[in-house]
Chain A
């Protein structure tokens, strides 16, 4: 199934990638347009996280093309991908647990040397009061949800054009899941395009403009969030009937 790449901010075509002898992505194609929220759903082992890692330069594609804003970024290092405007919040904890919340945010601006860093950190702390009240606390002492918000805030400090988020609701209580998704929506409204991988498919599709379903490293379905939620096959196999 080929993705429509017209005017795409990010476009993958026929990407093959994996780890050593294991081929995880077997010709995935997708496109993310500027301003969208796009989610990728699929069973465990479908290649969702590998797809994000491949875009971010952590896994080198063996075949296929990855273009961001018209530029070929396949086989670029993570640092180069980051500099081009793609932020990434991986699955699991991705902060510096012994550093304070404030130091973590400073690390988020590690590549920046401009004078506006301090102001941006204060803006983020004002936007996320749950972080502001713990700005001097080690990040490792925060709850799972607070750490997830912190990690998104860290990624925002480089003002990415595209933010990739892997399993943002993993291990969070329902109240925190709502807060995390509300945050993603707010980030998107401010102009950041979002590509997320999510096990909570219903929730993810309900907030996404479009979605892709991966199965064993290949495209299986794609469509708007509503179309996929209404698709009987998707409902039966990926949304619990």
Chain B
């Protein structure tokens, strides 16, 4: 159960970014899992190679990925946004493949382990045992989602993001700088993926193609959550994480991914409009 919640937190942080990009820019970024992968390597570099304290390395990763997200938006995304969805699909998939292979060339295929003090210390509450790092993942995820909600609901840029997700033409009419808001959305999404990576990397290995399956699971969560509705994507992510963990424990670890995707197919057959019905905006 706790493993499922940890997985769900990771999926939710990645899926929230994917939903933001879909909602605001009307684009599915199939390279989003690679944002997570690069964030994990940035964390590894800071923590293991540079010897930075965990909190510093954990904040370095999103800082680096904010810059990467901005660069990605200004190069790839700006060029493909006015094009058809076919072009967007191929371009983001191509970016995913290029980034994975660059990581293989530069960093090798050997998985990296980044154990931290919290990942090896066990919390024992009445026989209920878990790594402190898992507790940190859950608490940090809650804080991050609260912060994201406040940002989108209360700030001027967050309001512009909501506006863009509801009516792009109306944004031009009121003077929203659509390019700037798209850039902030990509930077924020990249930071969320990197934060997720910095939080869960002490629990899992880091390897170049770790982002591929993650993109698919986050995409499944975004679809089940209502095609760009961020809270829906977060809720669906926890459903996937819990299903996967329970399937791994009680059915078969080998089939956990398949069972998670079967669950998503069932959700879509039952509610094609997504778990939370048809929604307008993020």
Using a CB–CB cutoff of 8 Å, the interface residues on chain A facing chain B are 58, 78-79, 82-83, 87-90, 93-99, 103, 106-108, 110-111, 140, 154-155, 158
Contact = CB atoms under 8 A, between A and B. Distances in A.
A203 B156 CA distance: 40
Contact of B163 (A89, A107, A155): A107
A96 B167 contact: yes
Given A96-B162, A103-B159, A140-B280, A110 B167 contact: no
B280 A97 contact: yes
A98 B175 contact: no
Contacts of A110: 156, 160, 163, 174-176
Nearest to B165: A98
Which of A94, A155, A158: most chain B CB closer than 10 A? Answer: A94
3 closest A-B pairs by CB:
A111-B175, A98-B280, A96-B166
Given A107-B163, A110-B175, 7 more contacts: A98-B162, A98-B281, A99-B162, A106-B159, A107-B170, A110-B156, A154-B174
Interface residues of B, number: 18
A96 B175 contact: no
B166 A99 contact: yes
B113 interface: no
B170 A95 contact: yes
B172 interface: yes
A93 B173 contact: no
24 contacts: A78-B175, A79-B172, A79-B175, A82-B173, A87-B173, A89-B173, A90-B169, A90-B173, A94-B167, A94-B169, A95-B170, A96-B170, A97-B167, A97-B281, A98-B280, A98-B281, A99-B163, A103-B159, A107-B159, A110-B160, A110-B176, A111-B174, A111-B175, A154-B170
B148 to A, nearest CB: 17
Interface string B148-162: 000000001001101
Interface in B90-110: none
Contacts of B163: 96, 99, 107, 110
Q: Which secondary structure dominates chain B's binding surface? A: helix
Contacts of B156: 110
A79 B162 contact: no
Given A98-B162, A98-B280, A93 B167 contact: yes
B76 to A, nearest CB: 22
Contacts of A89: 173
A49 to B, nearest CB: 12
Interface in B203-226: none
A82 B173 CA distance: 8
Nearest to B156: A110
A128 to B, nearest CB: 18
Contact of B174 (A93, A108, A140): A108
B156 to A, nearest CB: 8
A96 B175 CA distance: 14
Which of B162, B175, B177: most chain A CB closer than 10 A? Answer: B175
Contacts of A140: 280
Nearest to B167: A96
Contacts of B162: 96, 98-99
A39 B169 CA distance: 23
B108 to A, nearest CB: 47
B272 to A, nearest CB: 20
A155 B167 contact: no
Contact of A158 (B169, B172, B175, B279): B175
A214 B175 CA distance: 29
A96 B281 CA distance: 9
B160 to A, nearest CB: 7
Given A82-B175, A90-B173, A107-B174, A97 B166 contact: yes
B166 A155 contact: no
A95 B169 CA distance: 9
Contacts of B160: 110
Contacts of A98: 162, 166, 279-281
A62 B166 CA distance: 31
Interface string B246-270: 0000000000000000000000000
B159 A94 contact: no
Contacts of B177: 79
A154 B173 CA distance: 9
Interface string B127-169: 0000000000000000000000000000010011011001101
B166 A58 contact: no
A108 B167 CA distance: 13
A60 to B, nearest CB: 14
A214 to B, nearest CB: 22
